[in-house]
Amino acid sequence: MGLRNIIAASSVGVTMLMASVAPASATFLNIAISGGPATVNNGPLIINGLTTSKTLNAVEFVSGFAGANVAAGINFFTSATFTPLGPITIATGATNLTVDVGNLTFLFTSTSNPSVVTTTNSNSGTISLDFAGSVSVDGSSGTIFLNQPAKLSEVCTQVDTSSFISCTETISTHAVPEPMSIALLGTGLLGAGAVARRRKAKKA
């Protein structure tokens, strides 16, 4: 293959890659969900060493969003349903949590970064846990979110010993390149490498 053809192939590969990734980036979505009261396994208070699981309120609501919320069917006060509500173990490991909100169903299959801070009269108690998963059902036009990786970060707070526990969840997605896009990137890099080797050989 001539140098001109290699450069042309590389340019086409990179151009097609950019074109294929650009639409996917538009499906970024960030959702804030709030609700309460939640309960914990050991009674009314969050206590480090005793609090090992929590149960969420039956229905929570969207309190904020960014990204392609219209396509996802999400707006302020859109209901969000968690299945199961609990008990959700506060530990790193496997899980099976679904969240239905708007046109989407998220399936989360693992947890990480567990944290429990005891509630006192002078300090707020908190429970923190991260979930990893993906969009498992997509009712949007063109199913633009389907199979995208998703992360859920949950923080439950108890202001003092006389307060109930309220939880806030943030779900975020990010688009990933299609397999064809990855193949095109490889083509572009191979072409660029061939050009570099050809120039090096000429200089030698």
- Within-domain flag for 143: yes
Q: Is residue 14 part of a domain?
A: yes
Establish if 105 belongs to a structural domain. Answer: yes
Mean pLDDT of 142-153: 96
- The predicted pLDDT at position 174 comes to 78
pLDDT digits (tens, 9 = 90+) for 44-55: 999 999 999 999
Which residue segment(s) compose the domain that 104 sits in? 3-178
192 has pLDDT over 50? no
Are the beta carbons of 101 and 78 closer than 8 angstroms? yes
Total domains in the fold of the chain: 1
Per residue in 66-110, pLDDT tens?
A: 999 999 999 999 999 999 999 999 999 999 999 999 999 999 999
Indicate whether 201 pLDDT > 70: no
Task: Measure the CA–CA gap between 111 and 131, rounded to whole angstroms.
Answer: 4
Residues 6+ apart with CB under 8 A from 193: none
Q: What pLDDT is attached to residue 58?
A: 84
How many H helices and E strands in the chain? Answer: 3, 10
Cα gap 131→90, rounded to integer Å: 11
Mean pLDDT of all residues in 183-197 = 47
Structural domain contains residue 34: yes
Is the predicted pLDDT of residue 133 greater than 80, yes or no? yes
The rounded distance, in Å, linking the Cα atoms of 96 and 79 is: 20
For residue 198, pLDDT beyond 50: yes
The residue that leads in pLDDT, 140 or 18, is 140
**What is the H or E stretch that residue 157 is in?**
strand 149-158
pLDDT, residue 2, reads 52
Asked if the structure places residue 185 within a domain, the reply is: no
What would the pLDDT profile of 152-181 be if each residue is shown by its tens digit? 999 999 999 999 999 999 999 976 554 544
- Averaged pLDDT, 54-63: 93
Residue 188 pLDDT greater than 50, yes or no: no
Lowest mean pLDDT among 9-13, 36-40, 51-55, 198-202: 9-13
Is position 128 within any domain? yes
In this structure, is residue 201 part of a structural domain? no
Task: Determine, yes or no, domain membership for 203.
Answer: no
Helix, coil or strand: residue 6: helix
For 31-75, give the DSSP string: EEEEEEEEEETTBSS--TTT--EEE--SEEEEEEEEESHHHHT--
